[in-house]
Copies of this chain bind each other. A is one copy, B any other.
Amino acid sequence: MSQDPTEHAEETSLLELVCRREGSPLTVQRRAVFESVSTRTDHPTAVQVHEDVQRRLPGVSRMTVYRALAWLVRLGVVAKVHHPDGVARFDPQTKRHDHIVCLRCGRLLDLSSPAFEALELPDIHPLGFRVTDYTVLLRGTCPHCQQASAAPRGAEAQARPRSGPNGRG
C-alpha cells in the first residue's frame, strides 16, 4: 500500500522502545505484525493479519501472529476489540474511542467524531462498580450496504460479501 517507509518510522521506534523497556527482542515477525495492524484501518482479525504478514514474510505461522498480537496488546501498543461476531479484531488506536459496525457486512470502523469526543458520560457507580473505562458501539448500515439493500429480497440471509470475514450474527 504505502511506499513511504518514513510514515511508520516513529511507530517502529516506539515499538523498539517498548521492546527495550520490556527486555523483549524485536523480531522481524513482530515488526511485520505491528506494521500490518498499524497500516490497516479496518480492524483486521488475527487471520487477516496473518495473511498480511505472510505476503511479506512467507512462512510465518499463524501461531506467531496470535502471540505477537497478544504481546502487542499486553504492551498497550495495540488494542483488542471485540466484534459482535465474536472474532477478535485488532486496532492500532489505543486511546479510548468508539466504534461503528455495519450489521450487514460486519465492517467495523473507528468512530472519530468531535461530538463523540466531547460526550460526557454520567459519572455513576452502578451496583458498586468502579468504572475505569467505557466504549460506545454504534450499529447501522454502511454506505455500500445501503445501496445493496435496495436490490434483493431476503437481504438478511445473504449479506456476505467476499471481503467481509464475519461468520455468525
The interface of chain A, by Cβ under 8 A from chain B, is: 80, 82-88, 100, 102-103, 109, 111-113, 115-116, 119, 121-122, 124, 126-143, 146, 169
User: Quick one: which of B122, B127, B134 contacts A142, CB cutoff 8 A?
Assistant: B127
Q: Are A141 and B132 in contact (CB under 8 A)?
A: yes
Q: Are A136 and B138 in contact (CB under 8 A)?
A: no
Q: Are A136 and B139 in contact (CB under 8 A)?
A: no
Give the residue name and chain of the B residue nearest to A168 (CB): B88
Q: Are A131 and B138 in contact (CB under 8 A)?
A: yes
Give the residue name and chain of the B residue nearest to A85 (CB): B82
User: Quick one: which of B88, B116, B124, B139 contacts A116, CB cutoff 8 A?
Assistant: B124
Q: Are A133 and B140 in contact (CB under 8 A)?
A: yes
Q: Are A126 and B113 in contact (CB under 8 A)?
A: yes
